[in-house]
């Protein structure tokens, strides 16, 4: 039998909270995920994690956003009725993706450079 000191919910010092991505359903530390909140009836990214109300957590990848849209996960996580518009969230993810990849180059351009001429 294992005996613990302190409450069972206590985290080790220095660790961050663990959240679940509403898209891929994978668990990750909160620092790896983007918080999404409902602001004036629209989904909005909350990178500073300061917006009031419930939040949904998402990996900052378009693939996770696509999965969340297919599963209608935002409405369920935020406990609101109906489908929600993800346009501003998608543009935020695309802008942050361009910042990471550099000078605004698209992934398609990168893929084209990797192709080999068959002749």
Q: What is residue 96's predicted lDDT score, i.e. its pLDDT?
A: 84
What is the Cβ-side half-sphere exposure of residue 72, based on CA atoms within 13 angstroms?
A: 7
Q: What is the pLDDT of residue 101?
A: 61
- Position 89 scores a pLDDT of 93
Single pTM value for the model:
0.71
Residue 13 lies in a domain: no
In a domain, residue 59? The reply is yes
Domain count, the chain: 1
Q: What is the pLDDT of residue 73?
A: 96
Angle at 59 between CA 31 and CA 20, to 5 degrees: 75
58 within some domain: yes
Instruction: Report yes or no on 76 lying in a domain.
Output: yes
pLDDT for position 41: 85
Instruction: Split the chain (119 residues) into runs of 10 and give each run's mean pLDDT.
Output: 56 81 97 94 93 96 96 95 90 82 48 57
State the pLDDT at residue 115: 60
């Amino acid at each position: 039998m294992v005996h613990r000191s302190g409450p069972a919910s206590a985290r080790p010092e220095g660790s961050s909270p663990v959240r679940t991505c509403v898209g891929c359903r994978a668990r990750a530390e909160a620092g790896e995920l983007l918080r999404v909140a409902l602001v004036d009836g629209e989904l909005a990214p909350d990178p500073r994690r300061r917006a009031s109300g419930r939040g949904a957590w998402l990996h900052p990848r378009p693939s996770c956003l696509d999965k969340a849209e297919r599963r209608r996960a935002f409405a369920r996580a935020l406990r609101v009725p109906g489908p929600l518009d993800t346009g501003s969230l998608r543009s935020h993810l695309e802008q942050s993706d361009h910042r990471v990849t550099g000078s605004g180059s698209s992934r398609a351009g990168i893929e084209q450079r990797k192709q080999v001429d068959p002749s």
